[in-house]
Structure 1
Amino acid sequence: MLRWVFAIHFKVFDFSDTFWEIWMPFLVPVPGVLLVLPIKTKAIVYRNKKYKRGLPMISYIVIVAMLVISQMFTTAYFGELRQVKTVNEIDRHPLVKYYKIGHYALPQRWMGRFVRVSTSGRGRMRLNFDGYAVFPMLNDTSIVDLQKPAKYWYGFHINQRYSNTVSEAHKKEYYTHFVQYLLTQARASAYQKPDHFENLNAGDHQFLYLKSVSDKFYTIPEDAVVLSPVYETYDERTGNLLLWVFGAFGIGTILLAIQLTEGEFYSKELLKS
């Protein structure tokens, strides 16, 4: 409700989707789990102390899961779709989540790319490549200013996972192959016609996309906006998220009920005695 009133309806809070979908769900339950839950469950006595220690952790995980899914649904469902004729008309509607653009041009000569390399897994056994490619979105491909890059950028992203236990020579081969694959797929994507575009506001990997801009241009515009192509229709934007919201609530309720039934309730008088 707080998000709908101040961020969606009145647009007072201009936080990124990452804040609402990740940071807020992880931070909001902390006071309740640490301060309120111990007081409310003081009358529950467990014969096995593991259940007592596990109750806050399970409660926190359940609440976070429900909040994350519900916020993802909120982002998609309340995201406004605005139809514009050209890219320049987006300036009139800067806070819109989705755009349907009638005409735009992507000069492939000025495509920029950036690859983020990381490791993950137990013992860092997985080698991760995340590739980002961007094209300036223009009304006319003949107008490209190296000193003043475009404000709006077509964003493309792919990722692949490899084994990190191979030799350095093989890792370099993996990287070279991935870069070529990224460039090929990005160019192919530029020829496709998406249903609409999603506005990747600050925080949603936009800074990684914008690193691709410096691959071709000297400066990165401070007000740059990355638009990611969406091929599903606008009506399909929520997918099965609503079912997951109720599913997470049901599963969470069952888990908490099982956890609570493992203990026995005692009155305050018995606890004092």
Structure 2
Amino acid sequence: MKGLADKLRLIYKPFLLITIGFMVTYTFLHWVLFIKAGIPLKENILKFWFPFTLPFIPVYIWLRPRLKLLQFKDDKGSFGYQFLACMAMAVPTIIAQEYLATATGKLTELENIAQISQHDRTKYYSLKKYYIDKQHFAVQNKLSVTGRHNENLNMFIYVIMPLLESQDNPFFSSNKYWLGQKYQRQISNRLSNQEKDDRYKAFAEQAQKEFYKTNFENFTYLEVIGNTDDREEFNKAKRRLGQKSTAENIIFKANTEPFEARNGNKLPWVFGSLGIGLLAYLVFLLFPKLKGEEEHHQFTSGDSSGISKL
């Protein structure tokens, strides 16, 4: 039992403090710097890549020296515990950023789309009067390969339509407001070129049918598409209509569910994933043994650059 108590005190407690501290600090900086201050940064970097990669820094500085107290057959064992700690930090932090973006987004109620310039820019909007011009749409196609061994072929079709005040308002080349719709499908990248072409044609035909039968005016609120790869593809489609991308241009995504449901189950998943990560790390700490008492004493006596103060 003394060995377990030492593991909890010397390794698990610092891991717990680092995990919670990282998640809270990163989420706070996200809110202050990128939501309130509006510093421009790609959303996939802010919501995924930073939370995924940055945990390696505190783990390397503060947790890695403490993992040297455990007995491993080789260095791979220590690296595995570092990686597990990083994942335990990254997953709930990534989910927390998605929750932060939806939970802090404000809804602005407008009579028509022309009133948007009279208000501060927000993430969500509701409109009483509007018209989606499906006659002047443009399409952008995209293919990408994903997977550890490039085994997945992802097919995307981006459709953009002018969002007007009413059906009586004509479409101009300087239109500022747009509605975007994305269709996507994933197939095996190991198919022959002919099979890929056939699958893409079937996908395009299905997307076309779905587009024409969809009533895009049947939405409860609009969501501004932020600084994402999707927005870049929608802008490419918009340029096919002779449209230039400016700061005044806004591309929306239509949502049909109630505004109150925008957060979904993100918050429970934040705490759920955090709890799973903390529990998993505790279980894994039960397996390796601690090294000798002399090393424990030297480590906790202050020879470890202050991390024993955690």
TM-score bracket relative to the smaller structure:
0.7 to 0.9
Corresponding residue to 1:222 among 229, 240, 246: 246
| Superposed counterparts of 1:1-273, under 5 Å | 1-8=28-35, 10-42=36-68, 44-49=69-74, 50-93=76-119, 95-121=121-147, 123-141=149-167, 142-146=169-173, 148=174, 150-203=175-228, 205-215=230-240, 217-223=241-247, 224-266=249-291, 269-270=294-295
Distance 1:123 1:37, change over 3 A: closer
- Could you tell me which runs of 5 or more consecutive residues in structure 2 were left unpaired when the two chains were aligned: 1-27, 300-310
Please tell me whether the aligned partners of residues 135 and 154 of structure 1 are also in contact (alpha carbons under 8 angstroms): yes
Please tell me whether the aligned partners of residues 152 and 188 of structure 2 are also in contact (alpha carbons under 8 angstroms): yes
Distance 1:40 1:104, change over 3 A: same
CA distance, structure 2, for counterparts of residue 270 and residue 164 of structure 1: 53
Q: Secondary structure at the match of 1:137?
A: strand
CA distance, structure 2, for counterparts of residue 266 and residue 163 of structure 1: 49
TM-score (norm 1): 0.87
The offset of 1:199, in angstroms, is 0.7
Aligned length: 268
Identity score, percent: 22
Distance 1:107 1:64, change over 3 A: same
Distance 1:67 1:196, change over 3 A: same
Please tell me whether the aligned partners of residues 51 and 262 of structure 1 are also in contact (alpha carbons under 8 angstroms): no
CA distance, structure 2, for counterparts of residue 92 and residue 267 of structure 1: 69
Larger deviation: 240-249 or 31-40? 31-40
CA distance, structure 2, for counterparts of residue 252 and residue 18 of structure 1: 23
Larger deviation: 73-82 or 33-42? 33-42
The offset of 1:210, in angstroms, is 1.4
Larger deviation: 125-134 or 53-62? 125-134
Q: Deviations over 1:76-95 (max 9, x none)?
A: 11111111111122223453
CA distance, structure 2, for counterparts of residue 241 and residue 107 of structure 1: 34
- Could you tell me which runs of 5 or more consecutive residues in structure 1 were left unpaired when the two chains were aligned: none
Distance 1:220 1:34, change over 3 A: same
Root-mean-square deviation over aligned CA pairs: 2.5
Instruction: State which structure, 1 or 2, has the greater radius of gyration over its C-alpha atoms.
Output: 2
Distance 1:122 1:65, change over 3 A: closer
